[in-house]
Amino acid sequence: MRLIHGILISMLIITCCVLALPVTADDELTITQAGYTVMPGPCSIIESSLKTGTLSEYRYDYYTFPVTSARTDLIWNLFGPQKTRPVGLSVESSSTADADFNIYVSYNKYPNENSYDWADTSFGPDGTVAIQNPKMGYYYVMVKSMRGSGNYMLYYRGFNCYTPTPTVTPIEPCYPIYQSTKSGNLNQGGYDYYTYDVSGYRTLATWKLTGPQKTRPVGLSAASSSTADADFNIYIARNRYPTQTNYDWSDTSFGPDGWIELPYPSTGTYYVMISAKSGSGYYTLDQKSYNCDGGGGCTPSYDYVDSGTLTTGNFDQYSFDLSGSKKRLRWDLTGPAYGYNDFNLYVALNRDPSPSSYDWSDSSYGPNGAVEITNPSDGTYKVRVYATQGSGSYQLRTRSYNC
């Protein structure tokens, strides 16, 4: 744990018996914490207070914190006496050497070291207790010296945090014929350029930008200053470089993410600009293109979508009777988008397929797959969708073409 500016100064002088004053709203802006875990959501401090005290070994203090309206997070940071050395000596002060202060919290009752709802009893002078989605009521906190003596501070905050609505990528219309992922790191005001060539007929091209996500410090709900309110934008122009004021397509909605899709894009070179309008951090850019009708405007003579849900090790099987002269027969599998899912596709003519016996397959790792047969023979095609790993819903699209 670390405090900066006025709070750090108070910690340095408190061992000389100078007690810190209660924190003000302005002081709260100077407080940061180290260590972050990914947990998106900007937060507001609804209330805060700073308690100070002095304890000798085995003594304790109690505090009461009322929570009278909804909160998403509560946190208490205890900063106990730090080790000190007398001036001119290299031995530690006996009163603060190896101090061990603990913090205990209970809901609507007084805690003790044998009965509590939350606690930090790790060895050392400091401690942290954090509660997510707390109930309204009274929270009683006990600070106890298990070893050593000296001054301490107890810093309390109540937060209201919200989780932003995630960017939802539409279900893929079919298996992409081309895809690539680019990544980079931008500081505020910076930008990167990428190019993408569309050299043939496409039914759809998409660009998905995933910028730096907001994070919560360990045990806290406040956003990291570097990624809080990050606003990354995406600009695209065909056959020329775009700028923030001169482009063909863009997504400048506020936030770290973006999405652009172009139905039936013209051939050419598409230049993509990623701009960090505010905030900084890492991003990824996923580029995909599709040919979902099978060719240069060739309309399928048969087009049907089946759907289902599978768990690991299970499968669904479908049959398709083909008669008459067909140029192509195609299946596109779109599996569950989130998680580590591996759905595979197996096809056989006039018999049941399996992962070890089939005529055509797509067993590449991932939730999606595609099988296409040119100049297919008449007969009954058996198609098996198999969940090798993961679970969820899928769609299987079957199409045949006369062209």
What is the CATH T-level fold of the domain 302-401, as seen in this structure?
A: Jelly Rolls (2.60.120)
Q: What percent of the chain is predicted at pLDDT more than 90?
A: 41
| Two domains, one topology: 6-161 and 302-401 | yes
Domain boundaries, the chain: 6-161, 178-290, 302-401
Lowest mean pLDDT among 92-101, 238-247, 274-283: 92-101
pLDDT at 101 over 90: yes
What is the CATH T-level fold of the domain 178-290, as seen in this structure?
A: Jelly Rolls (2.60.120)
Structure tokens at 354: 């399996």
Q: Is the pTM of this model over 0.75?
A: no
What is the CATH T-level fold of the domain 6-161, as seen in this structure?
A: Jelly Rolls (2.60.120)
Model confidence over 141-165: pLDDT tens digits?
Answer: 999 999 989 999 999 988 876 544 4
In this prediction, residue 256 carries a pLDDT of 87
Highest-confidence range of 134-143, 212-221, 364-373, by mean pLDDT? 134-143
In this prediction, residue 264 carries a pLDDT of 83
| Residues 6+ away with beta carbon under 8 Å from 46 | 69, 71, 158, 159, 160
Q: What are phi and psi of 28, to 5 degrees?
A: -60, -30
Compare 30 and 11 and report the one with higher pLDDT: 11
Taking all residues of the chain, what is their mean pLDDT, rounded to a whole number?
78
pLDDT at 354 over 90: yes
Model confidence over 363-372: pLDDT tens digits?
Answer: 888 888 888 8
Q: What count of residues does the chain have?
A: 403
| Residues 6+ away with beta carbon under 8 Å from 141 | 62, 63, 64, 65, 76, 103, 104, 105, 111, 129, 154, 156
In this prediction, residue 295 carries a pLDDT of 56
Please state, in angstroms and rounded to a whole number, the distance separating the CA atoms of residues 121 and 15. 22
| Cβ proximity of 223 and 168 under 8 Å | no
What confidence tier does 168 reach under pLDDT thresholds 50, 70, 90? Answer: very low
pLDDT at 241 over 90: yes
